[in-house]
A and B are shown apart, each in its own frame.
Chain A
Amino acid sequence: GDSVTQMEGPVTLSEEAFLTINCTYTATGYPSLFWYVQYPGEGLQLLLKATKADDKGSNKGFEATYRKETTSFHLEKGSVQVSDSAVYFCALIYNNNDMRFGAGTRLTVKP
């Protein structure tokens, strides 16, 4: 079935470091891909999304490009801040309109 595999954490970076969180997917067709973020004590929020191949989603300095050839949707940010500390979830929607999530990657950014 459709599924998402994302890089396991936790990830600890210093402020202003470059961030990559890998995400690959398995689907029989072309799903929509999402990154959600969960800040400490808060609910899930959409960070960005891409709905077709080669689309790039971006928000708050984060970017991810829908790569059909590598079935990937890696999350990147050029310079992380302490306030980016959160758990990041890669997700897809394809067949049944329910969202399939990766296991989540906890990011801690130290000053």
Chain B
Amino acid sequence: GAGVSQSPSNKVTEKGKDVELRCDPISGHTALYWYRQSLGQGLEFLIYFQGNSAPDKSGLPSDRFSAERTGGSVSTLTIQRTQQEDSAVYLCASSFSGTRTDTQYFGPGTRLTVL
């Protein structure tokens, strides 16, 4: 079946602009995660959605970052007033039930470059 998909694959924006990144998880997966991969920080957790529960936002680096998950499926990560340090690859992952033994399946990522 189809894996996790993300769009766009690349995004170049100017400092101060807002960007939206999209993630389509694997059908039937109840848990969805956002991570960021950058040279200086490695792979960092950002936010976690599980079913209809309130999301775990503990990894979001600032209030410029927010995410939604509509209808328990597609998710959008929004970065407002982008800064150069936001440049990174943003990865989305999904898992069947969100438990600690579950495998997380990753999308190809969105490479964000802030000029």
Chain A residues within CB distance 8 Å of chain B: 31-32, 34, 36, 42-46, 49, 51, 89, 91, 93-94, 96-104
B96 within 8 A of A: no
B72 within 8 A of A: no
Q: Is the CB of B56 within 8 A of A96?
A: yes
Chain B residues within CB distance 8 Å of chain A: 31, 33, 35, 42-43, 45, 48, 50, 56, 58-59, 91, 93, 98-109
Known A-B contacts A96-B56, A98-B59, A99-B35; the reply to A31 vs B109 at CB < 8 A is no
Q: Is the CB of B48 within 8 A of A101?
A: no
Q: Is the CB of A89 within 8 A of B43?
A: yes
Q: Is the CB of B31 within 8 A of A45?
A: no
Instruction: Compute how far the CA of A100 lies from the CA of B59 in the bound complex, rounded to whole angstroms.
Output: 11
Known A-B contacts A43-B109, A46-B105; the reply to A98 vs B43 at CB < 8 A is no
Closest CB of chain B to A90's CB: distance in Å? 11
**Contacts of A45 on B, CB cut-off 8 Å?**
106
Question: Would you list the 6 A-B pairs with minimal beta carbon distance, nearest first?
Answer: A101-B43, A98-B45, A44-B106, A93-B100, A51-B101, A43-B108
Q: Is the CB of A103 within 8 A of B45?
A: no
**Contacts of B50 on A, CB cut-off 8 Å?**
97
Q: Which of B31, B58, B100, B106 has the most CB of A within 10 A?
A: B100
Contact for A99 among B33, B58, B101, B108, CB less than 8 A: B33
Contact for A49 among B35, B42, B91, B103, CB less than 8 A: B103
Q: Is the CB of B58 within 8 A of A96?
A: yes
Can you pick out 8 interface pairs between chain A and chain B where the beta carbons lie within 8 Å of each other?
Answer: A31-B100, A34-B103, A36-B106, A43-B106, A43-B108, A91-B43, A98-B58, A104-B42
Instruction: Compute how far the CA of A97 lies from the CA of B101 in the bound complex, rounded to whole angstroms.
Output: 9
Instruction: Compute how far the CA of A32 lies from the CA of B98 in the bound complex, rounded to whole angstroms.
Output: 12
Instruction: Compute how far the CA of A93 lies from the CA of B101 in the bound complex, rounded to whole angstroms.
Output: 8
Q: Is the CB of B108 within 8 A of A98?
A: no
